[in-house]
Amino acid sequence: MKQALHIFRKDVRHLTPELAMYCGLLVAFAVVTPLRWPGASGSEMLQMFATLVTFLLPIAWLVLITRTVHEESLVGDHQFWVTRPYRWSSLLGAKMLFLAVCILAPFAVVQAYLVLRAGLELGAALESVFLNLLFFVGIVLLPFTLLAAVTASISRTVLALTVLALSWAGVLALLDNLTIPRVMPPFVFQACSLLVAGSLVGTLIYQYATRRTERTWTMLLTTGVFYFGLYFGCSATNLGGLSSVLIRQHYPLAKSGTVSLSFTPSASGPAARVRPSITDTQGMEPVELPLAYRDADPAARVQDASVSFTIDGPGFHYVSPWRSLAMESEDLILLVPSSIFWSVQGTSVRMHVSVAAERLLPGQPETVKVSDRFRVPDGGVCVLLRRNISGNNLSCWYSGHGPSPTRVTGPVSGESCGGTTHAAVSVIHSLGGGIRVDPVAQSLVPLGGAVCPGAVLTFIPYRSAGNFRLEMDLPPLLLSQYKPHWLRME
Amino acid sequence: MIDNLPAIEVRQLHKSFAQTDALAPLDLVIPRGAIFALVGHNGAGKTTLIKLLLNIVQPTSGSATVLGEGSTALNGASFTRIGYVSENQQMPDWMTVREFMDYLQPFYPTWDEGDLLDELELPSDRKLEHLSRGMRMKAALASVLAFRPSLIVMDEPFSGLDPLVRDELIETLLDRLSDNAPGEAEAGTTIVISSHDLAEIESFATHVAFLHQGRLLFAESMDRLTARFREVTVTLEGAGTVPPMRFPASWLMTESSESVFRFVHSNAETEPLEEQVRELFPQAGDIQAEPMTLRTIFLALVKSRQSQNRRRA
């Protein structure tokens, strides 16, 4: 530890100019980021400057991380430190200390400042800020440190990062083009992230302990191939049935009387409807089954629904993977491989359908009186914008990735306040995952009019009532009878 | 017990890069307390051998022990006893000489720089990047001498230095050697020094090894080497050239003119030189056997090897 501190102090002293610039950039980021929030009065130039600062931050991270790692470069055989009594663990410890104290801590402080600046409660935001920093470590600090550890100069680090990022994007694009997205089985993303992060940490330790750069590169590329293999395994194959087992375990069979599926065929077949984008897939034929989902509680909602089905006919058996499902209509649209569809379209087949989803129930409604800026449930803050955006003027801010789905109801006026009002309803959804440089997530609430000061809004947060799965055997049917109407007209 | 072991022992150490042999398998023993000169042309394999010994690069095959430890097992702690100075070493150029010494001090429990900086006339407040080549070598040497290592390895330390600086460095090195390293009271500090300039190490090396094109030609003590090699000039009485004949294996670079026959005897210490000459040349008159410098020994060996190779080809 003593040696690690000694090396750390040396790094800080040498990189003081870079650190000063980084801190300046963070201060600029803290000052200008609120100008990008809805309703801020920043000029267009300031907004552009804020964008530029946000763009510069990852560059600053890359430069700082590379500079500190290259203070004692691990690649090459001319470094003075290689023949000095450095303990590799102390050296690695010194670098980790530098990353934690000089890069992560200032960034965490700025994140906390922005949360407070937005008027959010820091205590309530701590978990999301912590998760955000964890993402930051996993997605930025660790990969950048590892790349710096296997390259000899900053230009080579940038080159390696560019090549890896392009390869990454290229392979993902290729996989997306080749395969239809499937539902990621539960825990696979977490397990995969842990495995990849563990593998990267192990590779970094190995490089510091041995300085065998070629082997470290091999380990690094193997990790990449493993990740893509797993991704491909999840998105293009059934992982040998494991995927289905995990999903079934995670979504237990629904208790009778709460939710159900019913099959209600009509003689005329599916009604004409707008073609959803999900059906726009080569090599697959959409089949629209008159399967209606019912919940005993009309206020309940579902999210993250997915479906799998089997088709059995004379001499064949087909099992579909689990795919996302939109449950907003009375009918379910399933994608059947064209080869299967055309070979059995005129044959009577038996189908079994499995639907899995998370059930949501409304929580305790909370009424809030509207002012220019007011607190709302789930630790959020809403502001009234001076100018309407797409006819709406209510923007709600949350830390991290936003609240659970929340239904908002209340009176709204037309273009501006003072006129007649009418009741409106909207839903605030979670705002997506991943790393957020700006910890304040904003959501425009599309109530379809202007919310005026003094009005009372009701917020109903929807809480999870657990996962469920529905299984249903369909009577013998002809798939050709359930081709969606828009296809027949083409 | 450890003092009886050699400072360095090499067994069939071999390094190749791709298909090229940088160092053919070699055996070498460097006794404790020796000033061991590793000489050879540029590209002979001196630096590769040093980097293998210090675990900076890993061998393709073979092994070496350095101060009793396997070379591939050398770690940070090992370098509290081993000092390394190289012409190509990247230093923290942004530090001043004083900062450099202060930075290194906590790494070494035996640090005692005394008045080294004054002795070497090093400007303590000047950054390393602003030092001349000679000054940089002095700073590097000071940072090694300050912790009194048991083994000092120097890779081309005098390359490109003016004679005055070179002499200063040698003088400081030898002065410091007179103070034995801790725990090395009997054997003293071992120095391995590589150079392509034979003249600069001849005056103080106790042992020498010749590397040529990645192969070790020989390694032995200077005393034995200088006793072994003689440049022999034989005056032949009567006219006529020397007819083709088979010479002893220890005779190198044989050449003759009208009345003189010259060669290098590589085993003059143990073989009866004059008897050998008179047996082959009954007409031999005066026989002169002169000691040779390291440079002339090296040249004789290299040229002899080249002519052997030509004959084989």
In a domain, A479, yes or no: yes
Residues of B in contact with A6 (CB under 8 A): 103, 106-107
Same domain membership, residue A78 and residue A123: yes
Distance CA A125, CA A382 (A): 15
Question: What is residue A320's predicted lDDT score, i.e. its pLDDT?
Answer: 86
Q: Do A86 and B76 touch (CB under 8 A)?
A: yes
Question: pLDDT tens digits for B122-136?
Answer: 999 999 999 988 889
Return the pLDDT at B180: 52
What local confidence, expressed as pLDDT, does residue A162 receive?
93
Q: Do A77 and B56 touch (CB under 8 A)?
A: yes
| Residue in B80, B88, B92 nearest the CB of A85 | B80
User: Are B273 and B289 spatial neighbours (Cβ–Cβ below 8 Å)?
Assistant: yes
Most confident region among A122-126, A262-266, B77-81 by mean pLDDT: B77-81
Mark yes or no for CB contact A80/B79 under 8 Å. no
> Which of A160, A187, A218 is a domain's end point?
A160
A310 contacts A318 by C-beta, under 8 angstroms:
yes
A246 and A258 within one domain:
no
Within this chain, do residues A145 and A25 fall inside the same structural domain, yes or no? Answer: yes
In this predicted structure, the answer to whether residue A273 has a pLDDT above a threshold of 70 is no
Q: State the average pLDDT over residues A265-292.
A: 70
> How many CB atoms within 10 Å of residue A269?
15
Q: State the smallest CA–CA distance between residue A220 and chain B in angstroms.
A: 21
Residue range A214-232: average pLDDT? 85
End-to-end CA distance of chain A: 73
Chain B residues with CB-CB distance to A71 below 8 A: 92
Cβ pair A80:B89 closer than 8 A: yes
Residues of B in contact with A76 (CB under 8 A): 90
Rounded CA separation A99/A104 (Å):
6
Please report the ipTM that was assigned to this predicted complex: 0.84
Q: How confident is the model at residue A268 (pLDDT cuts 50, 70, 90)?
A: low
Q: Are A407 and A389 in contact (CB under 8 A)?
A: no
Work out the number of other CB atoms within 10 angstroms of the CB of residue A179: 15
Domain count, chain A: 4
Question: CA of A443 to nearest chain B CA: how many angstroms apart?
Answer: 50
Partner-chain contact B106 A3, CB within 8 Å:
yes
Chain A contact set for B58 (CB, 8 A): 212
A74: closest chain B residue by CA:
B56
Residue A364 lies in a domain: no
Cα–Cα dist A146/A129, whole Å: 24
Helix H or strand E encompassing A229 = helix A213-236
Taking the CA of residue B84 and the nearest CA in chain A, the distance in Å comes to 7
Note whether A80 contacts B91, CB cutoff 8 Å.
yes
Q: Of the ranges A171-180, A235-244, A319-328, B179-188, which is most confident?
A: A319-328
The gap from C-alpha B125 to its chain's centroid, in whole angstroms, comes to 34
CB distance A77–B57 less than 8 Å?
Answer: yes
- Residues of B whose CB is below 8 A from A3: 106-107
Whether residue A10 and residue B103 make contact (CB cut-off 8 A), yes or no, is yes
Q: Has residue A489 got a pLDDT over 50?
A: no
pLDDT bin (cut points 50, 70, 90) of residue A275 is low
Which of A7, A9, A13, A83 to probe the B interface (max B CBs under 10 A)?
Answer: A83
Tokens, residue A8: 């750390």
B219: left (phi over 0), alpha (psi -120 to 50) or beta: beta
Of A98, A106, A105, which Cα lies nearest the Cα of A11? A98
Q: Quick check: is A362 in a domain?
A: no
Q: Hey, how many other C-beta atoms are within 10 angstroms of the C-beta on A160?
A: 17
Mutate to test the interface with B, among A7, A13, A84, A211 (most CBs of B within 10 A): A84
Which pLDDT band holds residue A280 (cuts at 50, 70, 90)? low
- CA trace torsion B101, B107, B111, B113 (10° rounding): -10
Chain A environment of B90 (Cβ under 8 Å): 76, 78-80
Give the minimum alpha-carbon distance from B156 to chain A in angstroms, rounded to a whole number: 14
Strands B251-256 and B215-221: unpaired
**Residue with more model confidence, B245 or A222:** A222
Q: Which residues of B touch A88 (CB under 8 A)?
A: 75-76
The CA distance from A53 to the nearest CA of chain B, in Å, is: 30
Whether residue A426 is found in the same domain as residue A293: no
Residues A267, A410, single domain; the answer is no
In a domain, A127, yes or no: yes
Q: What is the average per-residue pLDDT within B45-74? A: 93
In this structure, is residue A366 part of a structural domain? Answer: no
Residue A342, domain member (yes or no): yes
* β-bridge pairing A366-369 and A456-478: antiparallel
Q: How is residue B309 written in tokens?
A: 């190779």
Q: How many CA atoms lie within 13 A of B118 on its CB side?
A: 3
Same domain for A262 and A327, yes or no, is yes
Question: Using the beta-carbon criterion (under 8 Å), do B108 and A86 form an inter-chain contact?
Answer: no
- The better pLDDT of the pair A226, A17 is held by A17
Write out the two tokens for A177: 């083009």
Q: Which residues of A touch B76 (CB under 8 A)?
A: 84-88
A84 and B79 within 8 Å at the Cβ level: the answer is: yes
Judge residue A34's burial from the number of C-beta atoms within 10 Å of its C-beta, 0-12 exposed, 13-18 middle, 19 or more buried: middle
Q: pLDDT category, B226, cuts 50, 70, 90?
A: confident
Closest CA to A470 of A253, A212, A190: A253
Q: Which amino acid belongs to residue B281?
A: F
The torsion of the CA quartet B238, B239, B243, B248, rounded to 10 degrees, works out to 40
Which domain-ending residue is among A130, A160, A190? A160
A154 with A19, same domain: the answer is yes
Q: What is the pLDDT of residue A428?
A: 83
Same domain for A343 and A473? Answer: yes
Q: Domain of A86?
A: 2-160
Which residue has 């600090």 as its token pair? A141
Q: Do residues A44 and A134 share a domain?
A: yes
Which residue's structure tokens are 């100008």? A35
Nearest CA in chain B to A77: B56
Nearest CB among B57, B107, B140 relative to A85 is that of B107
Specify whether A441 is located in the same domain as A472: no
CATH number at residue A280: 2.60.40
Q: Do B76 and A87 touch (CB under 8 A)?
A: yes
Q: CB distance A88–B76 less than 8 Å?
A: yes
Instruction: Determine the average pLDDT of the residues in A151-174.
Output: 90
8 Å CB contact between A203 and A219:
yes
Best of A78, A80, A89, A212 to mutate (most B CBs within 10 Å, chain B): A80
Q: Assess whether pLDDT exceeds 60 at residue B67.
A: yes
Which residue among B58, B79, B89 sits closest to A78, beta carbon to beta carbon? B89
Q: For chain A, what percent of residues have pLDDT higher than 90?
A: 36
CB atoms within 10 A of CB A149: 26
- Note the pLDDT of residue B1: 44
User: What distance in Å separates residue B195's CA from the closest CA in chain A?
Assistant: 18
Nearest to B79 among A78, A85, A88 (CB): A85
- Residue-wise pLDDT for B146-189, tens only, equals 999 999 999 988 887 888 888 888 888 888 777 654 544 456 88
In a domain, A365, yes or no: no
Q: Report the mean per-residue pLDDT for chain B.
A: 86
Chain A, chain B: beta-carbon pairs less than 8 Å apart? 53
Is there a contact between B84 and A6 if contact means CB atoms under 8 Å apart?
A: no
Same structural domain, A276 and A350:
yes
**Would you place residue A88 in the very low, low, confident or very high pLDDT band (cuts 50, 70, 90)?**
very high
Q: What is the mean pLDDT of residues B277-302?
A: 84
Cβ atoms within 10 A of the Cβ of B198, count? 20
pLDDT-derived band at A490 (thresholds 50, 70, 90) equals very low
Please give, rounded to a whole number of angstroms, the shortest distance from the CA of A10 to a CA of chain B: 8
* Cβ separation A84–B89 shorter than 8 A: no
User: How far apart are the CA of A164 and the nearest CA of chain B, in angstroms?
Assistant: 26
Instruction: With a cut of 50, say whether residue A488 has pLDDT above it.
Output: no
Mean pLDDT of A354-360: 91
Query: Which of A14, A83, A88 is the closest to B79 by Cβ?
Result: A83
Domain end (from A100, A132, A160): A160
- The string of pLDDT tens digits covering residues A378-395 is 888 999 887 777 778 888
User: Lowest-confidence range among A291-305, A474-488, B222-236, B294-308?
Assistant: A474-488
Inter-chain residue contact A83 with B82, CB threshold 8 Å: yes
Q: Which CATH number fits domain B2-225: 3.40.50.300, 2.120.10.30, 3.30.420.40, 3.30.565.10?
A: 3.40.50.300
Q: Which residues of A fall below an 8 Å CB-CB distance to B?
A: 2-3, 6, 10, 14, 71, 76-80, 82-88, 212
Average pLDDT, chain A: 85
Which tokens sit at B75? 């770690």
Q: What is the DSSP letter of A417?
A: T
Q: For A395-454, how does the pLDDT look when each residue is reduced to its tens digit (9 = 90+)? A: 888 887 777 888 999 888 877 777 788 888 888 877 666 677 888 888 888 888 888 888
Which amino acid is present at B74?
L
Let me know if residue A168 belongs to a domain.
no
Query: Which pairing describes strands B230-236 and B260-265: parallel, antiparallel, or unpaired?
Result: antiparallel
CB A144, CB A65: distance < 8 Å: yes
Whether residues A183 and A241 share a domain: the answer is: yes
